Amino acid sequence: MKNKELSVLVFICIINSLGFGIIVPLLYSYGKRFGINHETIGLLTAAFSIAQFFATPVLGSMSDKFGRKPLLAISLFGTCLSFLMFAFAQGAIMLFAARILDGLTGGNVSVAQAMISDTSTSKDRAKKFGILSSAFGFGFVIGPAVGGLLSKFGPQVPFYFAAGIALMGALCSVFFLKETNDKKKKATLKGASKFSFMSLINTLKMPVIGTAIFIGFLLTMAQFTLIIGFQTFSVDTLKLNPTNVGLLYTGFAVTGIIMQLCVPYFTKIISSKAMILLLSTAACLGAMFYTGFTGTIITFAIGLIIYGLFNGLRNPMLNAIIADNNTSNRQGEVMGVNQSYASIGQTLGPITAGFMAIYSIHFVFFLSAFYILIAFLLTFRLTSKYKS
């Protein structure tokens, strides 16, 4: 992928994640107008993740057959429509329908990853995945601030704006992005097997890819467990106001973006992506275990910064390892399966964190560390399999 085309894809990813970052913090406050409460907001969030779990491997497989460009555009148009449904909602049913639609058309991440896989070599793949991850991260970081500002002009305004930039992303993909799944690759698909939901299980059985996907699932679950702990600890224990909570979270998110942009430096020093993943997971484990013992804002922030830095290496390394060990005619499907398990991790993490918080908020951080520990042990297996 040439620099110009990569820039277009990065721009699309930024505005796509910006829209997501704008609306997610507003879901609860907006949904309260239609009867959404503490219990049903969890169901509303889960509706997106469950729909995405089943849809992303199908969309990824379709991108293998019909091309990346049309599937990316369809995903973004679906996101645009879901945001409009939120803006025009008259009841909770419409909110659930909107989140389900967004989940069913939520293949933009996996398709974008497949486009990087199509056009990169093993040498520069981690670097490009790092750039892509930082693009998504940037949108998530500034999205909540934009959403908060726009909400002052009306509760529906952020959703209209998010729909507009999703539409902009779809149009950019149609008119400015080139197809990466070329004719030669399409020709090889004539003998390719059709997608089956058994792929969700069979892919996990693949020696390297399956281990990498499961590690990603555990580390995603650990991150979203941490997010619940972060929200509760910063408000109930540290007594921070919403502005300071937002600043602390922004600083945490920015550390990951910085590390993702530094991926090329790590791959120059350490050639094995699996070894980089092993070392970064060990650092995350130590930081999370340390965070469980903190009681002041300074010590808490130190733990978050260390974790945020090394957690930033997770997606670039895992995605590059998966792409390195995959075949060209299954890049979209496998990346979709990977995203499916990530979406389930995003759901299970907060649920398990909620149960643990009943006993102690510190236990939430230890639970996150436990998930990281299992992932850390699996990285030894991944390292040996990857070498062989």
Which CA distances in Å does 84 have to 19, 31, 74, 102, 339? Answer: 12, 14, 15, 11, 25
Q: What is the per-residue pLDDT across 253-279, written as a single tens digit (0 to 9) for each?
A: 889 888 988 888 898 898 889 999 999
Q: What is the per-residue pLDDT across 174-221, written as a single tens digit (0 to 9) for each?
A: 888 888 877 445 544 444 445 566 777 888 888 889 999 999 999 999
**Mean pLDDT in the chain?**
85
Q: Which long-range contacts (CB under 8 A, 24 or more apart) does 229-236 make?
A: 229/353, 229/357, 229/361, 229/364, 229/365, 229/368, 230/304, 232/357, 232/361, 232/364, 233/300, 233/361, 233/364, 233/365, 234/300, 236/361
Q: Which of 142, 373, 205, 147 is nearest to 278 (CA)?
A: 373
Structural domain that includes position 138: 1-174
Same structural domain for residues 153 and 223? no
Same structural domain for residues 59 and 99? yes
Same structural domain for residues 247 and 331? yes
367-374 average pLDDT score: 97
CA distance linking residue 25 with residue 1, whole number of Å = 34
33-61 average pLDDT score: 80
Instruction: Say whether pLDDT at 240 is over 70.
Output: yes
Same structural domain for residues 79 and 9? yes
Whether 339 is in a domain gets the answer yes
Q: Residue 365: what residue type?
A: F
Q: What is the per-residue pLDDT across 266-321, written as a single tens digit (0 to 9) for each?
A: 988 988 899 999 999 999 999 999 999 998 999 999 999 999 999 999 989 998 99
Same structural domain for residues 22 and 92? yes
3-class SS of residue 106: coil
CA distance linking residue 306 with residue 152, whole number of Å = 35
Task: State the pLDDT at residue 39.
Answer: 63
CATH number of the domain that 253 lies in?
Answer: 1.20.1250.20
CA distance linking residue 70 with residue 175, whole number of Å = 11
Task: State the pLDDT at residue 370.
Answer: 97
Task: State the pLDDT at residue 189.
Answer: 47
Instruction: Say whether pLDDT at 233 is over 90.
Output: no
353-358 average pLDDT score: 84
Using the 3D structure, point to which of 120, 140, 174 is the last residue of a domain. 174
Alpha helices (H) in 195-272, listed in sequence order: 199-202, 207-232, 242-261, 263-269
Whether 11 is in a domain gets the answer yes
| Cβ count near 91 (within 10 Å) | 11
The DSSP code for 178 is P
Task: State the pLDDT at residue 215.
Answer: 96
Number of domains in the chain: 2
Report the chain's C-alpha Rg in angstroms.
20
Q: Which of 210, 287, 203, 297 is nearest to 249 (CA)?
A: 297
Task: State the pLDDT at residue 23.
Answer: 78
Instruction: Say whether pLDDT at 1 is over 80.
Output: no
Whether 371 is in a domain gets the answer yes
Same structural domain for residues 158 and 223? no
Same structural domain for residues 246 and 159? no
Whether 214 is in a domain gets the answer yes
**97 — pLDDT class (breaks 50, 70, 90):** very high
State the sign of the Cα–Cα–Cα–Cα dihedral 192, 198, 200, 201: negative
Q: Say which range, 40-44, 122-126, 223-227, 367-371, has the weakest mean pLDDT.
A: 40-44
Task: State the pLDDT at residue 242.
Answer: 65
| Cβ count near 136 (within 10 Å) | 23
Whether 183 is in a domain gets the answer no
Q: Say which range, 37-41, 151-155, 162-166, has the weakest mean pLDDT.
A: 37-41
Task: State the pLDDT at residue 187.
Answer: 45
Same structural domain for residues 219 and 159? no
Task: State the pLDDT at residue 38.
Answer: 63
Better pLDDT: 215 or 10? 215
Same structural domain for residues 145 and 222? no
Whether 193 is in a domain gets the answer no
Instruction: Say whether pLDDT at 327 is over 80.
Output: no
